[in-house]
Amino acid sequence: MQTIIYVFFWRLFFWRFLNGDAARYEPWAKEIMGLAKESKTEELLERLLEYKGRSLPTGAPNLYGYVNNNR
């Protein structure tokens, strides 16, 4: 799960990292990782709802679908 969250985060926010804006998005990734580690699936899905059905960058996994299908 951690790898999928990392890849999702990296693909989604890659250009923002290059622009030096990583600090703004790192707390989001840590929160998502924390929810996953604590097995708070419903809260995790709620936080990822905005990405459900959204067009994602190439290589970004469908994290919402993954979590929803593997609960």
Along the 71 residues of the chain, how does pLDDT read in single tens digits?
A: 888 888 888 788 776 666 666 677 778 888 999 999 999 999 999 999 998 988 888 888 999 999 999 98
Collect all residues with Cβ–Cβ distance below 8 Å to 47 and sequence separation of at least 6: 31, 32, 35
Buried b (16+ CB within 10 A) or exposed e, 32-57: bbebbeeeeeeebbebbeebeeeeee
Position 33 scores a pLDDT of 92
Report H helices in 1-71: 2-18, 22-37, 41-48, 63-69
pTM recorded for the entire structure: 0.77
